[in-house]
Every structure is written in C-alpha cells, then in structure tokens.
C-alpha cells in the first residue's frame, strides 16, 4: 500500500489535463493525500521527511481511469488476482479501475461484491471498483439484486456514490430483450450506466475477424454484424428507456457509423474502444496467432481507421484496456481453442501516446480526455485537474523516452500481449494514489 504520510514534491514537472498542456514547469507539493501547493519550478524546498521526485522533462496528468478490466478473482487467480492486477494498473498509470463481473462465481451478490471490495482496499494500489452482472451466474435467466448491490458501502460508494460502477454482462450479451429492458429501467432509476458487451450470440463460434484473412488461414470467423446487431438494439433501448447505455470495446467501422448517427439524437449513449483496435488489424493475426485473439476481434485496416476517426470526432468517448490475462499454457493452445483476450494495463497509455498523439491523430489533452475525464464521468467519479486542493491521484510520464515492451517485466501475471518487442514512447515514471507513490519506475 502506498505510504501517504511522506510529503512529496514533484520538482520541475509540466502539468497537463484534458484541456491544456502548461508551457512552463512547476513544483507540486503533495501532503496528506492532497496537492497543497503549486509553485514555480525549483522554488519548493525539501525539508526533512520530504521526498523530492526530480521530474525534468516529465509530464504530470490526472491519474488514469480504466472502465474495463478483468482481475479474475474470485475463481481464476492463476491468471491474475486483485493484488497482481492492482500492481499492473499502478504501473500503467491508472488510479481507478472497474472490474468486470465474469469471475467464478460471477459478481451477482452483495457477498461477492464485498469480498472483492475488501481485497481491493487491502491491496490499496489502485481504486478497485466493481461492476455488477446483469443476471445470476450470468446465465441470462434471473436479474441480480442490483438495488442492494448499488446500496452496498464499497470504496466505489465512497468515491462515486454508487456501490457498483455499473451493470454489465461482459463476456457475453444478455440476448433476452425483456430482461435487458428491465435491467435498463432499473439502471435508469438508480442512475447507473448499462455497460454492454455487444455481441449477437447467434453469430459467434469464430476465433478471428471474418474476412479475407480468416478465409486464407481457414479459420472460422466472427463477423462485424455480431457487434452491429446488438449496437443497433442497444441504441433502440437507450432511446426507449432513457437509461445511459455505454457500448464496450467497439471494434468495427459499422458500429462506429451507427453510434455516430445515434449520438445526433441521444445524449445517453457513450462508447469505448481498446488500444488493440487502433493499433492492430486481422493481418497481424498471421504473425501473432493467439496473442492477437480477443473478443471482439481486431478487424481490417478500414475498421482500424474508422475507430481512430471515431476517437477523433468524439463518437468514441473513451479508451479502456479490456485487460484480460490468461496463462501461457492456455494461450499456447491452437487458435480455435485458446481463450480470447490480452493484457493491456501496462501498455495502454503508451500505445495511446505513441500511436494516437505522436501519430498525429489526437492531442495529449484529447488522450487524457479519453483515458481519464470521460471514464470518470461515466462512473460518476469526480474528475479533478492538478491544482491546489486536488485529491492527489496523479500519473507522471516521460513523453520523449522510448522503451521496448517486455512482458517478463509486467506486474500482471498475464504475459499475453501482442505488443512484445514493440518500441513505445511515454513510459510511466510515477503513479501517485491518494498522495502516496503506488508505482515508481526503476531501471
Ligand atoms: Zn467483453
């Protein structure tokens, strides 16, 4: 757990947020969990008991928020657990994460919610927020006690006013429209977002994007229509029920077009994508095999460019990682039988910074908007820029420093990354959570 008793001074650091990047560096003093003073660079002295962090050439931004991670606890702690996932999140610059409910058992009760909340608080490396499943055991039959779960006094409740960060059947779609409508009406009443993994289960069974490459490889495909069909349904339900629908891990150009159109009429619709959808295509599957097997799958170059366009014009509000660790043995299986998913927490920001900001598609403030301000808004977490009085959840990175992704260095138990060996910019140097250091890069 980070020690918040030491006074910290970020010395000579450039401050940035979702609106601006400062021109001249500052010193930032952090004590008792808050930013207490911001002054010209090198003007704050380090008294005894103060830790001075030299930050020349570094940029400090509000701590990142990931609304889509899988920490695998309870039930699959050989892949990840709340402690290892929390350390991975801190190393990735995140100060808050939302865990998906597809654990074993699924998060469908107050008891399971409380057990996860307890572990998250004990680890204390990141705010661990939990989402509720839609149905008991995610079996698609009976709704969870959402009202009770939302009333539970979790860390999420303390920081957002809600016991859970949202309601989602992630891992699958709830196909039963009557139940989906009931969930939406209740979520609207509770003011919780309905987060949806959009996948038409009548079109599943493949292991990569259905297209030319899957045909060449002779592998069964997952068509873009599987996503678009549910996106269409969810837009209709958002319109009819007034609930806030948040479309998870959008991957296809057709979905981006549907969301763009719907957003002209609806203010209760948001969408996320993940770094792999702007960084990879199905032709990378030839080289990467199961390391590029995820659901939804990475699609064509046309889809990839549509995702970037959606990020640029605001159709896609935010970037989440869908951090999904698996064991090496599972990922060593053939393409058809290996599990879906890749780890993402320790590469997410640097991929966004390298591919989108250095790539000339987004400004740094826009990226901060997608990785902090918008995800905070989605879950009702107060978003604070770095100023005196701010709750000190801060990430500090090196914009000009490049590094090679090495999964052996990951804090996550998962080594399943398609970005192994890739050179990225924007290394995370420090993460501050509640005024204490939750991560510090060591050479
Ligand atoms: Zn999903």
Final residue in a domain of this structure, among 379, 406, 427: 379
Q: Please determine, for residue 54, whether its predicted confidence score (pLDDT) is greater than 80.
A: yes
Residue 195, domain member (yes or no) = yes
DSSP state of 383: P
Say whether both 244 and 287 belong to one domain.
yes
Region 187-201: mean pLDDT is: 97
Regarding whether 240 and 109 lie in a shared domain, the answer is yes
Residue 40: inside a domain, yes or no? yes
Number of folded domains that form the chain: 2
Is the Cβ–Cβ distance between 399 and 425 less than 8 Å? Answer: yes
The answer to whether residue 46 scores a pLDDT higher than 80 is: no
pLDDT at 2 over 90: no
In this model, does residue 174 exceed pLDDT 90?
yes
Does residue 417 surpass a pLDDT of 80?
Answer: yes
Cα 371 to ligand 1 centre (Å) = 18
Q: Give tens-digit pLDDT for 241-283.
A: 999 999 999 999 999 999 999 999 999 999 999 999 999 999 9
Q: What are 419-442's pLDDT values in tens digits?
A: 999 999 999 999 999 999 999 999
- Is residue 93 domain-shared with residue 151, that is, in the same domain? yes
383 neighbors 376 (Cβ within 8 angstroms): yes
Q: In Å, what is the CA distance from 429 to each residue of 13, 53, 58, 224, 402?
A: 12, 10, 8, 38, 12
The predicted structure's pLDDT at residue 265: 97
Q: How far is the CA of 87 from the centre of ligand 1 (A)?
A: 22
pLDDT digits (tens, 9 = 90+) for 376-407: 999 999 999 999 999 999 999 999 999 999 99
Residue 1 in any domain: the answer is no
Q: What percent of the chain has pLDDT over 70?
A: 100
The strand pairing partners of 245, in sequence order, are: 194, 269
Q: Is residue 406 part of a domain?
A: yes
Query: In this prediction, what percent of the chain has a pLDDT beyond 90?
Result: 96
- Single residue among 379, 403, 421 that ends a domain in this structure: 379
CA–centroid distance, 100 to ligand 1, in Å, is 9
130 Cα–ligand 1 center, Å: 15
**Average pLDDT of 61-84?**
98
- Flag whether pLDDT at 6 surpasses 90: no
Examine the residue annotation and report whether 148 is marked as an active-site residue of this protein.
no
- Higher-confidence position of 4 and 371: 371
Is 80 exceeded by the pLDDT of residue 1?
A: no
- Do 321 and 398 belong together in one domain? no
**Cis geometry, peptide bond prior to residue 220 (ω within 30 degrees of 0):** no
Please tell me the predicted confidence (pLDDT) of residue 443: 82
For the CA atoms of 221, 345, 100, 230, the dihedral, rounded to the nearest 10 degrees, stands at -40
Q: Say which CATH number the domain at 49 has.
A: 2.30.40.10
Stated length of the chain? 443
* Residue 341 pLDDT: 98
Which listed residue (17, 81, 108, 322) is catalytic? 322
Domain coverage including residue 435: 7-60+388-440
The answer, yes or no, to whether residue 45 has pLDDT greater than 90, is no
Last residue of a domain, one of 339, 362, 379: 379
* Residue pair 208/297 in contact by the 8 Å Cβ criterion: yes
* Residue 54 forms part of a structural domain: yes
What does the mean pLDDT of the chain come to? 97
Q: Does 156 have pLDDT greater than 90?
A: yes
CATH of the domain at 240: 3.20.20.140
Kind and range of the H or E element at 96? strand 94-99
Same domain for 283 and 409, yes or no, is: no
Residues 43 and 72 in one domain: no
Longest Cα pair distance anywhere in the chain, in angstroms? 66
């Amino acid at each position: 757990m980070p020690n918040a008793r030491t006074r910290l001074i970020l010395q000579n650091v450039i401050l940035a947020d979702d609106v601006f990047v400062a021109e001249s560096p500052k010193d930032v003093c952090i004590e008792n969990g808050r930013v207490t003073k911001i002054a010209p660079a090198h003007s704050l002295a380090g008294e005894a008991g103060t830790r001075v962090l030299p930050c020349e050439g570094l940029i400090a931004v509000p701590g990142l928020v990931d609304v889509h991670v899988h920490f695998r606890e309870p039930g699959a702690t050989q892949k990840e657990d709340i402690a290892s996932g929390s350390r991975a999140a801190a190393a990735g610059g995140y100060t808050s994460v939302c865990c998906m409910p597809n654990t074993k058992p699924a998060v469908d009760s107050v008891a399971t919610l409380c057990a996860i909340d307890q572990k998250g608080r004990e680890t204390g490396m990141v705010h661990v927020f939990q989402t509720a499943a839609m149905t008991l055991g995610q079996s698609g039959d009976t709704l969870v006690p959402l009202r009770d779960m939302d009333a539970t006094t979790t860390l999420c409740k303390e920081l957002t006013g809600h016991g859970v960060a949202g309601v989602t059947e992630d891992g699958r779609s709830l196909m039963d429209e009557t139940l989906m409508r009931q969930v939406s009406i209740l979520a609207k009443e509770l003011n919780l977002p309905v987060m949806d993994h959009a996948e038409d289960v009548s079109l599943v069974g493949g292991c990569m994007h259905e297209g030319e490459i899957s045909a060449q490889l002779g592998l069964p495909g997952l068509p873009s229509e599987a996503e678009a069909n549910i996106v269409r349904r969810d837009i209709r339900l958002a319109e009819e029920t007034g609930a806030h629908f948040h479309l998870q891990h959008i991957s296809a150009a057709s979905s981006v077009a549907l969301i763009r159109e719907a957003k002209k009429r609806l203010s209760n619709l948001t969408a996320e994508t993940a770094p792999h959808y702007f960084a990879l295509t199905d032709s990378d599957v030839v080289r990467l095999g199961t390391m590029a097997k995820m659901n939804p799958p990475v699609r064509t170059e046309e889809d990839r460019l549509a995702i970037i366009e959606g990020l640029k014009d605001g159709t896609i509000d935010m970037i989440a990682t869908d951090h999904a660790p698996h064991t090496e043995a599972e990922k060593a299986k053939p393409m058809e039988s290996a599990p879906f998913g890749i780890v993402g927490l320790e590469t997410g920001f640097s991929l966004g910074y390298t591919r989108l900001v250095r790539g000339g598609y987004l400004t740094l403030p826009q990226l901060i908007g997608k990785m902090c301000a918008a995800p905070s808004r989605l879950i009702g977490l107060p978003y604070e820029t770095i100023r005196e009085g701010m709750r000190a959840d801060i990430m500090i990175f090196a914009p000009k420093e490049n590094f090679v992704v090495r999964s052996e260095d990951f804090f996550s138990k998962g080594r399943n990354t398609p970005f192994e060996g890739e050179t990225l910019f924007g290394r995370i140097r420090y993460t501050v959570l509640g005024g204490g250091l939750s991560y510090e890069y060591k050479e």
